[in-house]
């Protein structure tokens, strides 16, 4: 029984293998690869894909399987279902299949509409993959040729409008990031709260001091991993916070681990995070991200995170957090990094890094002003992100409607799909002869051997 339902009566449902040539890729010997442009472009899988056409990184002078211009290239191995269009004759490896159909864009957009379904058909443990048989038996709705062309035109018109809107949103997103950094820069130049500050000068009463002089403690967590870890909270267990739990402006509790009281006590006597302390990631991929501690209960820290306990009469914790996020603070912190394979911030250098201090009352004014403006930025960012998600949903909706016959009006004067299929069938013996011939031919390009 067909999986495709609710299509116009004059459409037909066929298997891809009945209306298309499906050529499964086959990787040639690695000795035939080159980066010098000798032979045919060689594509192995999704790694070379862009939005429409693959990017050439390698060539092959003795290809086994060839895709022709306008063949649809389908990724058949992890990930399964992604598509591009061959814009030139090329060699395809075993990670791809080429699907050949006269109105290639119709098949291309159809495959994009069922990408998730194709992925679910993948099998295998190490690498999920789909077979040639799975591709050939996948059903496709076939409308009359003029309607296919109208569907493709309408899809491209709507997707073009959608892409333009998406680019505008992404531009706004980037502008928002620039504005955030500008706000933080102005704040610590004194321009956010002092409108008459001269360029390159600090307002009266501002000064540069070492972080170590403005804090009672700057300390990292344990340099030893606990022998026993727990995935769940329990009696006499304490959260063990690491770099993965610290993000800019928030703590992430999604992947928590817990340690016993003995291990916790051995750390807490040296490194005792308290509510409102500043937490900074000092090594790992999130190095430099900073948040305030929002927890009232005690927890343990790994050495990938350090705490700042500010002198309350000199430095407000939120002011320090925003300074670290600013271009000035970010540079000061990252300049204190050492290491080659694994980059980390050294505590001694953090203590020597300088922060610009304004009078305490002005620090609070700066924090209040930043929180007000950055909250607006957060709401705009949330709106943009939601709109981008909606754009992707709309893309899928356009494709879904297209292949249900709901995107363009049907023309009663079009020849029914059965006539098109008869023509395809009439041409198939010729295609079969060509395919058999191609299997007998030995393809040698640029002096290579098969």
Structure tokens at 47: 């790694």
What's the mean pLDDT in 166-194? 95
What's the mean pLDDT in 361-386? 97
- CA atoms of 144 and 101, how far apart (whole Å): 14
Peptide bond into 79 cis (omega under 30): yes
| In the predicted structure, residue 449 carries a pLDDT above the cut 50 | no
Burial class for 145, CB neighbours closer than 10 Å (0-12, 13-18, 19+): middle
Domains 12-144+415-440 and 207-357 share a fold: yes
Structure tokens at 185: 């820069």
CA angle 368, 371, 374 (to 5 degrees): 145
Residue 41 three-state SS: strand
In this prediction, residue 180 carries a pLDDT of 96
Residue located via tokens 């061959």: 86
Residue located via tokens 């502008």: 175
* Annotated domain spans of the chain: 12-144+415-440, 207-357
In this prediction, residue 20 carries a pLDDT of 96
Note the pLDDT tens digit of each residue in 199-242: 888 999 999 999 999 999 999 999 998 989 999 999 999 999 99
In this prediction, residue 439 carries a pLDDT of 36
Fold of the domain built from segment(s) 207-357: Adenine-n6-DNA-methyltransferase TaqI; Chain A, domain 2 (3.90.220)
What's the mean pLDDT in 85-102? 97
In this prediction, residue 284 carries a pLDDT of 80
- Asked which of 138-147, 317-326, 440-449 is least confident by mean pLDDT, the reply is 440-449
pLDDT grade for 342, boundaries at 50, 70 and 90: low
| Residue 313 CB contacts under 8 Å (≥ 6 apart), including other chains | 360
In this prediction, residue 425 carries a pLDDT of 61
Closest CA to 143 of 437, 352, 409: 409
Decide if 280 contacts 349 (C-beta within 8 A).
no
Fold of the domain built from segment(s) 12-144+415-440: Adenine-n6-DNA-methyltransferase TaqI; Chain A, domain 2 (3.90.220)
Q: In 390-422, which positions are buried (b, 16+ CB within 10 angstroms) versus exposed (e)?
A: eeeeebeebbebbbbbebbebeeebeebeebee
What percent of the chain is modeled with pLDDT above 90?
78
Q: Pairing mode, if any, of strands 33-34 and 58-60?
A: antiparallel
What's the mean pLDDT in 148-155? 97
Q: The whole model's pTM is what?
A: 0.77
- Asked which of 114-128, 169-183, 312-326 is least confident by mean pLDDT, the reply is 114-128
């Amino acid at each position: 029984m067909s999986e495709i339902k609710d299509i116009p009566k004059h459409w037909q449902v066929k298997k891809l293998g009945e209306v298309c040539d499906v050529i499964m890729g086959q990787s040639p010997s690695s000795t035939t690869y080159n980066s010098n442009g000798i032979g045919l472009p060689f594509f192995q899988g999704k790694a070379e894909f862009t939005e429409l056409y693959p990017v050439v990184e390698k060539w092959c002078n003795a290809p086994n399987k060839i895709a022709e211009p306008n063949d649809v290239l389908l990724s058949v191995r992890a990930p399964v279902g992604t598509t591009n269009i061959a814009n030139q004759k090329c060699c395809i490896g075993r990670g791809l299949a080429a699907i050949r159909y006269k109105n290639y864009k119709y098949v291309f957009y159809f495959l994009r509409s069922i990408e998730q379904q194709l992925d679910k058909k993948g099998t295998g443990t190490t690498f999920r993959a789909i077979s040639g048989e799975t591709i050939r038996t996948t059903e496709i709705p076939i409308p009359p040729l003029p309607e296919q062309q109208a569907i493709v035109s309408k899809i491209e018109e709507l997707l073009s409008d959608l892409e333009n809107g998406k680019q505008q949103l992404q531009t706004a997103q980037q502008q928002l990031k620039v504005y955030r950094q500008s706000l933080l820069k102005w704040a610590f130049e004194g321009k956010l709260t002092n409108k008459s500050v001269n360029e390159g000068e600090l307002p009266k009463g501002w000064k540069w001091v070492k972080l170590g002089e403005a804090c009672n403690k700057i300390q990292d967590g344990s340099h030893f991993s606990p022998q026993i870890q727990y995935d769940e909270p329990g009696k006499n267990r304490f959260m063990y916070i690491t770099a993965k739990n610290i993000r800019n402006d928030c703590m992430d509790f999604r992947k928590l681990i817990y340690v016993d009281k003995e291990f916790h006590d051995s750390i807490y006597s040296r490194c005792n995070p308290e509510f409102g302390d500043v937490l900074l990631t000092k090594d790992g991929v999130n190095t430099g991200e900073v948040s305030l501690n929002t927890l009232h209960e005690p927890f343990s820290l790994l050495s990938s995170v350090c705490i700042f306990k500010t002198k309350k009469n000199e430095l407000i914790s939120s002011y320090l957090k925003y300074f670290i996020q600013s271009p000035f603070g970010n540079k000061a912190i990252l300049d204190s990094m050492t290491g080659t394979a694994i980059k980390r911030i050294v505590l001694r250098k953090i203590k020597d890094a300088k922060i610009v201090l304004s009078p305490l009352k002005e620090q609070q004014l700066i924090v209040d002003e930043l929180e007000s403006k950055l909250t607006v930025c957060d709401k705009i960012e949330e709106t943009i992100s939601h709109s981008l998600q909606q754009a992707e949903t709309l893309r899928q909706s356009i494709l879904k409607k297209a292949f249900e016959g709901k995107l363009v009006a049907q023309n009663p004067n079009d020849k029914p799909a059965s006539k098109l299929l008869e023509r395809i069938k009439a041409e198939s013996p010729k295609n079969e002869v060509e395919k058999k011939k191609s299997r007998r031919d030995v393809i040698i390009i640029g002096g290579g051997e098969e």
